[in-house]
Amino acid sequence: MIRSGAIPGVAFGHLADGDARTDTRARARMAAELGIPTEWATVSQVHGAVVRLVDAPGHAGDADGLITQTPGVPLVIATADCVPIAIAGERTIAVVHAGWRGIAREIVPNALDRFRDLGDPATVAIVGPHIGSCCYEVGEDVVAAVGHPGETTWGTTSVDLRAAVHTQLGSLQIEDIDECTMDEDAFASYRRNGTSERQVTVAWLS
């Protein structure tokens, strides 16, 4: 797992940690290592822009983000090339699953709006491991939707998801975990081998 000092209650998993949304043994291992409960808040990710407010563990429906002001409730999303983002204010924490469709639908600004609605504007974000512009070959439709065009290492068109997320995060303090999931075998990557496996990002308030 990858930890960060920017938001103490955040962990980005590796492929070897397992998909702890559905694998109870993987969840137990991660929870024990992180010192958090084994009951987590989860969603069915749909590449949309909904961020759900929760105050208890359990399945929160279709969404691509979770936010809470309740201490001790772990929030989890899963990725295999999309961008996992943890966002925090003084008494609020959120996790966001941002693929290119979610970015185009402005899931990150929606998450920041939820912080403001709760009276606790976000101050800091961590952008976790995801596919880099070095490897994210796309068509012109994705470039038109997301912006931030780039080039793969083999010379084709790509987009820079990190740059797009940074733009949407605005003036927040941002920490990047600069790992490309397609390049690094430690991470699940759908683009690399079509895997159904995912790594999870967990965030919680102490």
pLDDT band at 18 (very low <50, low <70, confident <90, very high): confident
Percent of the chain clearing pLDDT 90 (strictly above): 93
Confidence of residue 206 (pLDDT cuts 50, 70, 90): confident
pLDDT tens per residue, range 67-120: 999 999 999 999 999 999 999 999 999 999 999 999 999 999 999 999 999 999
184, 192 in Cβ contact below 8 A? no
Q: Which amino acid is at 89?
A: G
Write down the pLDDT at residue 137. Answer: 96
pLDDT, tens only, 153-162: 999 999 999 9
Q: Is the pLDDT of residue 66 over 90?
A: yes
**Any residues with CB less than 8 A from the CB of 93 and at least 6 apart, and which?**
7, 9, 10, 67, 68, 75, 86, 87, 203, 204, 205
- pLDDT at residue number 129: 97
User: Percentage of residues in the chain with pLDDT exceeding 70?
Assistant: 100
Model confidence, pTM: 0.95
